[in-house]
C-alpha cells in the first residue's frame, strides 16, 4: 500500500519510461537487445508484484479508493507506452504526467498538507 500512496510505483514507471525512451533514441535496443528486453521484463515483473501487493494489502487511506488505483494503473500504462514512441516532446510529457500523477496520489492519500490563508 505504501508503494502506491507515496508515489514510488508512479516514479518508477516514469523513470523506466524515460530510460526506455533514451535507449530507443540511441539505438541501444538494436546494439544490446538482450539487456534492453531483460530490463523491460524485470520492470514489468516488479510492477506486477507491487500492484498485486497493493491490491492484497489494501487499506483505505485518505480519499483513495481501488478505482483510483485502477485509474492510476491505466495512466501508468499510457506513460510506459509513451516511452516507446519517438515524439518530439514525449520525454517532457512523460516527466510531467508522472510527477502530476504522483502528486495527485499523495494529495488524495492525505500526505500533502495544505495551508489555509483565510
Residue spans per domain, the chain: 2-108
Q: Which residues contact 10 (CB under 8 A, 6 or more apart)?
A: 72, 76, 98, 101, 102, 105
What pLDDT, in 10s, does the model give residues 5-63?
A: 888 999 999 999 999 999 999 998 889 999 999 999 999 999 999 999 998 988 888 88
Cβ atoms < 10 Å from Cβ of 14: 23
Give the predicted TM-score (pTM) of the model. Answer: 0.86
Amino acid at each position: 500500500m505504501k508503494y502506491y500512496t507515496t508515489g514510488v510505483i508512479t516514479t518508477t514507471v516514469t523513470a523506466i519510461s524515460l530510460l526506455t525512451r533514451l535507449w530507443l533514441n540511441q539505438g541501444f535496443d538494436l546494439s544490446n537487445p538482450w539487456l534492453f528486453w531483460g530490463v523491460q521484463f524485470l520492470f514489468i515483473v516488479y510492477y506486477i508484484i507491487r500492484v498485486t501487493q497493493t491490491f492484497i494489502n489494501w487499506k483505505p487511506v485518505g480519499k483513495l479508493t481501488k478505482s483510483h488505483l485502477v485509474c492510476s494503473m491505466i495512466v501508468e500504462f499510457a506513460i510506459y507506452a509513451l516511452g516507446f514512441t519517438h515524439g518530439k516532446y514525449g520525454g517532457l510529457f512523460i516527466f510531467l504526467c508522472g510527477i502530476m500523477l504522483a502528486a495527485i496520489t499523495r494529495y488524495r492519500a492525505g500526505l500533502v498538507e495544505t495551508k489555509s490563508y483565510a
